[in-house]
Amino acid sequence: MRTRTGGGLNMVDHIRILSARRAYEFQLDDLRLTLLSVAEVRQRIEASFTFQASEIGTPMETFGPVPKTLPPGLVFNWGAVPFPEGAITPIRFLHFEQRRVVIDVAGPSSAIDLIFEHLRQILADLRAPDGTPAIGEPVSKMDTSEIVAHLDFPQAALLPPAVRAVFERMLGASEGNGANVPMPMLRVHGAASGKEYAGTPTRTHQVFSFDLRAGNLPEARIYFSSAPLDTDAHLAYLRELESALSHSSPLAHP
């Protein structure tokens, strides 16, 4: 992530936080989906975040399978939250599943915390007939985010020199403009040692994915990164990746 000093501050050349998504997970029966589906409650949520559309329906799969329930779930689309101060963060969707609340924003993960806390506040007085709250305490969280950034190394640096040379021969790489050069991408996920490998996860929230950002020249070094991290941790990871590759690759500084 190339930086420069100006006015006493470090400024990053090119950072775009495309999206952040978080799932708050609950114990069974701690998310009262039937109560939340009542029209008055849906209208309260819709008005609080200026959602343009909402419905009772099965949410799309984001952090794992969505159980078939009655009601099937709640879907709110295209809202906003006044964050940071003096600005606005679009909310792409807010989903209620049987045991998850999933929030997706076109902004930093910190906005999601604000949205979730406001959601709990506006529903704080809502109780089921047995006296339990509409939304209990979450027991865990899962994150994923997408970031575009300028990083100070060429994509070919993702391959060790000897491996890169093999693919250059396979591709008939040549010098100059329009050269057919290797364009590797990364897909990394965790697997337990000592256990049978189950293969690459099909759910993207479990995978680190890294590639050139489509629509840019390779030499511009603009990258797209998806990671199972909140945006602060994601940016820190990209800084580490840049540091590792810009110092280890002979192509990093042509």
Average pLDDT over residues 28-36: 96
pLDDT at 233: 97
> Given pLDDT bands bounded at 50, 70 and 90, which one contains residue 208?
very high
Q: Inform me whether the pLDDT recorded for 179 exceeds 80.
A: no
DSSP code for 205: G
Partner residues linked to 149 by β-bridges: 15, 223
Mean of pLDDT over the chain: 88
Q: Determine the pLDDT at residue 191.
A: 84
- What is the pLDDT at residue 11? 33
Q: Where are the beta strands (DSSP E) in the chain?
A: 3-6, 9-12, 15-25, 53-56, 74-81, 89-96, 100-105, 140-150, 186-188, 208-212, 222-227
Query: Looking at the domain covering 20-143, what would its CATH class be?
Result: alpha beta
**Is 60 exceeded by the pLDDT of residue 176?**
no
Whole-angstrom distance between the N-terminal and C-terminal Cα of the chain?
A: 16
Counting beta carbons within 10 angstroms of the beta carbon of residue 92, is it exposed (0 to 12), middle (13 to 18) or buried (19 or more)?
middle
| Model confidence at 5: pLDDT above 50 | no
Domain residue ranges in the chain:
3-13+146-156+184-248, 20-143, 157-183
Band of pLDDT at residue 45, cut at 50, 70 and 90: very high
Confidence of residue 172 (pLDDT cuts 50, 70, 90): confident
